Amino acid sequence: MKRRNFSRDLWQINANLKQDKVRNPQSEIEIEMRHTLSIVVADQPGELSRIVGLFSARGFNIETLSVGQTTDPAWSRVTIVTRGDDRTIEQIVKQCSRLARVRVVLDVTMQPHIEREMALIDVEATPGAARQELLSLVAVFRAKVVDISETGMIIEASGNKEKVEAFIDLLRPMGVRDVTRTGCIAIGRLSTAVNSTRVSEEQEFAQAVNSA
Amino acid sequence: MSAQPQTLIPSSSTSACRSLPEPRGAEILIEALLHEGVDSIFGYPGGAVLHIYDELWRARDRVTHYLVRHEQGAVHMAEGYARASGRVGVALVTSGPGATNAMTGIANAYMDSTPIVVITGQVPTPLIGTDAFQEVDTVGITRSCVKHNYLVRDVRDLAAVVHEAFHLARTGRPGPIVIDIPKDVSAARASYSSLKNISFPLVERKWPPDPQAVAEAAAAIMNAERPVMYVGGGIVNSGAAEALLAFAEELQLPVTPTLMGLGGFPSMHPLCLNMLGMHGTYAANMAVAESDLLIAVGVRFDDRVTGKLATFAPQARVVHIDIDPANVGKNRAPEISLVADAREALAALQTEIKNLGQLYIDRGIKRRAVWWNRIRAWQLEQPLRFTGSGDHIKPQTVIRELHRLTNGDALVVTDVGQHQMWAAQFYPFKRSRQWITSGGLGAMGYGVPAAIGAQLVLGNQLVVAVVGDGGFQMTNQELAMAVQYDLPIKVLIMNNGYLGMVRQWQEMFYERAYSEVDLSVSPDFVKLAEAYGAFGVRATRPDELSDVLSAGLSHKGVAVMDIVVSKEENVFPIVPAGGNSRDMIVHQEGV
């Protein structure tokens, strides 16, 4: 299952797909890939709807969306995960860049970066074995228990999309009553750490899962 | 610093303020507009803009307000003004219905990259969001068809907003800007601060032509066997006509303008293949179809030009020069892209090519003689033509006659439909800004108001609005406005009693089912003109045409020429929607 492939970052998968395309330019297949766009826009009323409106008006799709302040309170960062072939993504980037209050649009997907999402998961867990089982999964996934009652627990989990989804999938048989998920946020890796001392949580995590 | 002088200075300035109260928002708005060089505003008053109109009354010696008869007219006039002058046109409308009526014009300006600023009134800020009387979410409904828009919530922002709006409207790829001003903001007081105090960091976006791309483009052009220049509205907007002419002549390149590019290159020039696309000339479309290099300048590969994209210029490499990066690669991925101002890019290209040496240039010209032979053959094979008729006035004849009587000097404004295509095909243009039309949006009703706006720029020079009987009736109320302000436009109605373009498609593609296109019940346009206080004249027979046109064109004031033309004439050539030049129908069957 591709979703469980934690050992490779999405950007690596994308880069490989892209290489295939370069090697075989005759191929008519346009590769639709997930892209994470980081848009820095003025923190003013209506600017978010300008971006979202542009996506719907031009027929682009938004998988996840998250918004927050940057280091400068005058500017917000909008992180959008979208899907499309290279030309579509190029158009999205260009169309967003055209907006008067957008400072920069980055497609972070094609460079080493870190992505995180968060989920709050309400799971059934009665005292006893079920609760113990749940707690051990929480430990393996480096999640957190943030609320507890007689009948259940609320778990806070974070990681990339694949990890969060894998976690929720694993919890499902135990009785997931509700899930709230954030959109994806992303940041570029520190360039010096890329090749040498990079510690990938995913790699570490994959080892933990394998050894368990 | 001691405390004493500090307390002294503010107290003295406070007393100065008392003697001279700070200006109201409305006054700030007018001052800012004057600062931007605005001398004409097209508008329609209403509740939410009462403060602004009050201030306009006070400033009536410095800025002229033109009272339109419908807000759509106001925005089209601002567009006509902008297109004819190259400056930013200004429209002023009230909230709610004023704003919704203005929408068509705003969308039109967006599609055709026309620099206008539309000021809309809004209900007072405390009422926003309460479904107040005449409230609509103007920034919301205009968002997808403006370059940028503003809801001014604080009067202190107003001046900066106006100045930034003008800056955005005219720089880069021009476009419409909407400034929504709530009534209480136009009443509130603040100090006016001009350009210097723009609080928001302007995002300056300017691209000088990238030397690497210029070199690549120059090499591609020099090596091309069958090049064609495909040029559009960007030539007109950037004032690149001279640069284009010099460049094309230097290299002896064939040039085909789009509908928006007409006038950007002289139509009668031997290098001009005239318009391409759905109703383009046979030679232009064939040349593009067979070309090995398309030099696209200030164009966006619009579907009315390309037809089916996959088969558009199938053998050609593309050099795409455009100021809007989003246009490059949107519809056709170019081999070489040059995001820059058209004039600067063409100048840079010419310098680059000159540096290669005259010998090189001459060799290229010699090599392309074969290509020119083919193009000349296409031109001879299928020139634009139509069959004459003894009984009815042919619409194409009307345009030819108009051209003859005006010595080809009139500024021609059109509405949308068959007459628009005939005007584009049969009126050769000499200069930029001699042709004003609704291209991208195809908004019927554009012709009369846009001509009025253009007439304001041209003074007493001849402005002819070529319109159909359908589009004319969408905005003919503006004749009253033209008469009121003595803006002597000449309206030429190509009256065929049909919504001709739709009828043509129904004839050709819907088995002649003429569904709802019959306009035979229309007012008597001569009487209508007279009712508005204009001069009206009609021609129904071919032998009347010349005299009637002369009478209308030579009339001092507003004139309406009702030319009754043959009812079922079709525009040819036509490339059916989604087709390519192989599907081009060059002429009516059996002719």
**A45 touches B: beta carbon within 8 Å:** yes
Same domain flag for B278 and B403: no
Residues B325, A53: C-beta atoms closer than 8 Å: no
**pLDDT single digits (tens) B172-192:** 999 999 999 999 999 999 988
- Alpha-carbon gap: A91 to the closest alpha carbon of chain B (Å): 6
Task: Give the model's pLDDT for residue A29.
Answer: 54
In this complex, the residue of B203, B329, B330 whose CB is nearest that of residue A103 is B203
Report the mean per-residue pLDDT for chain A. Answer: 83
Task: Give the model's pLDDT for residue B9.
Answer: 35
Give contacts of B333 with chain A, Cβ < 8 Å: 87
Same domain flag for B223 and B365: yes
Give contacts of A42 with chain B, Cβ < 8 Å: 200
Same domain flag for B38 and B155: yes
pLDDT tops 80 at residue A201? no
Distance CA B83, CA B236 (A): 9
- Alpha-carbon gap: B397 to the closest alpha carbon of chain A (Å): 42
Q: Quick one: fold of A114-191+198-211? A: Alpha-Beta Plaits (3.30.70)
Task: Assess if residue B479 is contained within a domain.
Answer: yes
Which residues touch B101 (CB under 8 Å, ≥6 apart)?
B70, B71, B72, B93
Give contacts of B326 with chain A, Cβ < 8 Å: 91, 94-95, 97-98
B584 belongs to the catalytic site: no
In this complex, the residue of A45, A53, A90 whose CB is nearest that of residue B143 is A53
The distance in angstroms from the start CA to the end CA of chain A is 19
Q: Answer for the pair B295, B227: CB distance below 8 angstroms, yes or no.
A: yes
**A194 touches B: beta carbon within 8 Å:** no
Q: Which of B71, B135, B164, B401 is catalytic?
A: B71
**A59 touches B: beta carbon within 8 Å:** no
Same domain flag for B265 and B356: yes
**A91 touches B: beta carbon within 8 Å:** yes
As a whole number, mean pLDDT of residues A153-157 equals 97
Among B197, B220, B244, the domain boundary falls at: B197
Which A residues 116-175 touch B at CB under 8 Å?
none
Domain A7-111: give its CATH architecture.
Answer: 2-Layer Sandwich (3.30)
| CATH number of the domain to which B183 belongs | 3.40.50.970
Neighbour tally for B345: CB within 10 Å: 30
Give contacts of A102 with chain B, Cβ < 8 Å: 203
Among B152, B175, B197, the domain boundary falls at: B197
The string of DSSP letters for A130-180 reads HHHHHHHHHHHTT-EEEEE-SSEEEEEEEE-HHHHHHHHHHHHHHHEEEEE
- This prediction has a pTM of 0.90
Residues A98, B143: C-beta atoms closer than 8 Å: no
Task: Assess if residue B436 is contained within a domain.
Answer: yes
CA A128 distance to own-chain centroid: 34
Task: Give the model's pLDDT for residue B131.
Answer: 97
Task: Assess if residue B582 is contained within a domain.
Answer: no
Task: Assess if residue B130 is contained within a domain.
Answer: yes
pLDDT tops 80 at residue A192? no
Task: Give the model's pLDDT for residue B368.
Answer: 95
Task: Assess if residue B112 is contained within a domain.
Answer: yes
In this complex, the residue of A42, A50, A94 whose CB is nearest that of residue B143 is A50
Residues B147, A53: C-beta atoms closer than 8 Å: no
Closest CA to A70 of A102, A41, A113: A41
Closest CA to B110 of B180, B164, B177: B177
Task: Give the model's pLDDT for residue B1.
Answer: 38
Residues B143, A97: C-beta atoms closer than 8 Å: no
Strand order in the sheet with B490-495: B435-436, B411-414, B463-468, B490-495, B559-564, B535-539
Residues B326, A50: C-beta atoms closer than 8 Å: no
**pLDDT single digits (tens) B269-315:** 999 999 999 999 999 999 999 999 999 999 999 999 999 999 999 99
Residues A90, B168: C-beta atoms closer than 8 Å: no
- Alpha-carbon gap: B204 to the closest alpha carbon of chain A (Å): 10
Task: Give the model's pLDDT for residue B15.
Answer: 43
- Dmax (CA) for chain A in angstroms is 61
Residues B140, A95: C-beta atoms closer than 8 Å: no
pLDDT tops 70 at residue A5? no
Same domain flag for B369 and B306: yes
Same domain flag for B349 and B424: no
**How many residue pairs from chains A and B have C-beta atoms closer than 8 A?**
39
In this complex, the residue of A57, A87, A97 whose CB is nearest that of residue B333 is A87
Same domain flag for B128 and B32: yes
Q: How large is the C-alpha radius of gyration of chain A?
A: 19
pLDDT tops 60 at residue A58? yes
Domains in chain B, number? 3
Question: pLDDT-derived band of residue A111, with 50, 70 and 90 as boundaries?
Answer: confident
Distance CA A68, CA A170 (A): 30
Closest CA to B89 of B73, B98, B97: B73
Query: pLDDT exceeding 70 applies to what percent of chain A?
Result: 75
- Alpha-carbon gap: A38 to the closest alpha carbon of chain B (Å): 18
Torsion sign over Cα B464, B470, B471, B477:
positive
Same domain flag for B191 and B231: no
Task: Assess if residue B42 is contained within a domain.
Answer: yes
Same domain flag for B410 and B549: yes
Task: Give the model's pLDDT for residue B16.
Answer: 45
Residues A53, B144: C-beta atoms closer than 8 Å: yes
Neighbour tally for B366: CB within 10 Å: 10
- The domain in which residue B284 lies consists of 211-381
Query: pLDDT exceeding 70 applies to what percent of chain B?
Result: 94
Same domain flag for B339 and B413: no
A88: closest chain B residue by CA: B330
Residues B203, A101: C-beta atoms closer than 8 Å: yes
A57: closest chain B residue by CA: B144
What's the burial of B540, exposed, middle or buried (CB within 10 Å: 0-12/13-18/19+)?
middle
What's the burial of B537, exposed, middle or buried (CB within 10 Å: 0-12/13-18/19+)?
buried
Same domain flag for B75 and B170: yes
Q: How large is the C-alpha radius of gyration of chain B?
A: 26
- Alpha-carbon gap: B214 to the closest alpha carbon of chain A (Å): 21
Task: Give the model's pLDDT for residue B14.
Answer: 43
Same domain flag for B491 and B434: yes
pLDDT tops 80 at residue A202? no
Residues of B engaging A, defined by a Cβ cutoff of 8 Å: 139-140, 143-144, 147-148, 151, 153, 168, 200, 203, 324-326, 328-330, 333
Query: Residue with structure tokens 């006035």?
Result: B393
Task: Give the model's pLDDT for residue B2.
Answer: 39
B200 belongs to the catalytic site: no
Report, as ranges of residue numbers, the positions in chain B whose pLDDT lies below 70: 1-19, 194-206, 589-591
For CATH 3.30.70.1150, list the domain ranges present in chain A. Answer: 114-191+198-211
Give the three-state DSSP class for A119: strand
In this complex, the residue of B143, B325, B333 whose CB is nearest that of residue A97 is B325
Structure token digits, residue B94: 């009230």
Task: Give the model's pLDDT for residue A152.
Answer: 94
Question: pLDDT-derived band of residue A209, with 50, 70 and 90 as boundaries?
Answer: low
Give contacts of A97 with chain B, Cβ < 8 Å: 325-326
Question: pLDDT-derived band of residue A188, with 50, 70 and 90 as boundaries?
Answer: confident
Q: Which of B133, B206, B315, B366 is catalytic?
A: B133
B134 belongs to the catalytic site: yes
